[in-house]
Chain A
Amino acid sequence: MDAVCAARFPEMSSTNHLLEVYASQYAELQRYAYSVVLSRALAEELVQDLCIKILSNPEQFADARNPIAYYKTCIANAAMTLLKRESKVLPLKHENITYRKRKEAFETSIDMDLTVDLERILDSFTDEEIQLIEWLYIYGYKVKEVAAIKGISSNAVSQQLFRVKAKLRKELKREQILFITLLFFLCHQLQEAGRLT
């Protein structure tokens, strides 16, 4: 399909690739836009703006190593800029930006059988680590691409990721120990209660 289009428009080959990625990932980008703003109209606008940007300023995207991840970053940044700009005109309530507090979201949406306190674990991560997780697992950048954007070596990014995993493991272990201790304590209390009666 793309080859047919490219044959019809040979002079646009540099922009073509960006447009093709945009077109093929349109649904994914739309869904992503819905996840960053509450208003549907605004989300659709953000995705349309991205298309205009690609056509009007393709040089901006020329260096994008991972176009899809870059598009998502653009949408997220545009959403934040838009919300900030609007807040200057009409002061936004706190919940407009942080629509749901994490705890509230955690309590209402996540399965109740999930015993691990994700929120506390995430709080233990630094902003840099949170950003790394976002880039790698939400935007979809590769380790090498993150390293290139940050201007550091791939090893450094890998080490950072390793630290994140180690921290997560440590937190989970603490959770388990706490749970087991609590369990022992409860059992002990029950035994005591049984003796007394």
Chain B
Amino acid sequence: MTFRRFIKLIREYPYLLNDTYVRSAEETREIFRAYAPTLSEAVARAKARADLPDEAWVYMETLAERIDRKNRRRERLTDCVGDILAQLRQYRRAVLVCAIIAIMVAYFTLIPSGKTIARNIYERVLTVVGRSLEIESPEYLGLAENVIQETGEEPFYETSSYASVSEYIDATNIVPFYIDDERFDCTGITEFNVSDDGRNVWINYRYKKSVVVTLRQEWLTNNESIAFGNTIHYKIMMIGDAEIHYLYDSEDNSFNGTTSLSDGSILHIYVSSKEHVEEVLSIIF
């Protein structure tokens, strides 16, 4: 027991201290709550008992009236709020927890410094666990199994290489999107046929000996579509009817563009040199 606790006890049970006191603080509070004359009543009784002139009581009476009026107002308010406070007091712990949560939410959503902290935490969490979460998501994990279940076939992955476009067409009977221009030297064609992703063909060209141009045409399986996020990285250009979403790699200034073709396939265009992009695109489209 600390000194503070000792004093609290003495205040609560003053009769422990000496014989002047006969009741505990709680008892006196109870008596006062049950009934106690108002100040006006006390003043009126005192006035009746004393032999002081009426003028002496005027100030006290005015004061008493005002105090009583104030107390009555307070009592009315207490009655209204009392029940709510009693409820709150009953569920003190829950109220406290809710208040803390509300304050935290308000801090992280309304106050700029809190917003910054929240954003940092969110980004940090995404950096640390975001990828693994993505990989481990049931959607991805179940994909291969779904393919097996739906098609009844094992997943496959095939790669084929060809020397020219005509050789590719002869072998597959598929006419890919290709550049028919003397200035472009075709250096090779590679086709990937993957059970999950579908077929895609890479045609590599050399333009003016130094510029590498690659066309990658994809035929997506299962009616999949491609969508571009509305991010600041991608820009859009129109060449003829073709809408190309593109960006320049900040490291080597290479051009990476994507567009959809009329047969439903997707065409990716890579140009290694920024200076020749417009020239190359005007030849392609």
Which residues of A are at the interface with B, using a C-beta cutoff of 8 A?
Answer: 1-2, 4-5, 8-9, 12, 15-16, 19-20, 23-24, 26-27, 30-32, 34-38, 40, 44, 47-49, 51-52, 55-56, 76, 79-80, 97-100, 102, 105-106, 109-110, 114, 116, 118-119, 121-122, 130, 133-134, 137-138, 165, 168-169, 172
Contacts and interface: CB of A to CB of B under 8 A. Distances in A.
B242 interface: no
Given A35-B21, A37-B22, A52 B66 contact: no
Given A1-B70, A44-B37, A98 B32 contact: no
7 contacts: A1-B70, A5-B62, A12-B59, A15-B59, A31-B28, A48-B42, A52-B50
Interface of B: 1, 3, 6-7, 9-11, 13-25, 27-29, 31-32, 36-37, 39, 42-43, 45-46, 49-50, 52, 56-60, 62-64, 66-67, 70
A97 B45 CA distance: 27
B52 A52 contact: yes
Contact of B24 (A26, A80, A109, A137): A109
B50 A56 contact: yes
Nearest to A104: B15
A8 B66 CA distance: 13
A44 B6 CA distance: 30
Q: Which 8 pairs of residues, A with B, have the shortest CB-CB distance?
A: A48-B46, A99-B22, A34-B28, A98-B19, A52-B50, A35-B28, A31-B28, A9-B59
B16 A31 contact: no
Contacts of A169: 3
A118 B9 contact: yes
A30 B36 contact: yes
B56 A55 contact: yes
B64 A23 contact: yes
Of the candidates A2, A26, A49, A98, the one having the most CB atoms from chain B within 10 angstroms of its own CB is: A26
Nearest to B31: A34
A102 B3 contact: no
Contacts of B25: 31, 35
A38 B22 CA distance: 7
B66 to A, nearest CB: 5
A168 B70 contact: no
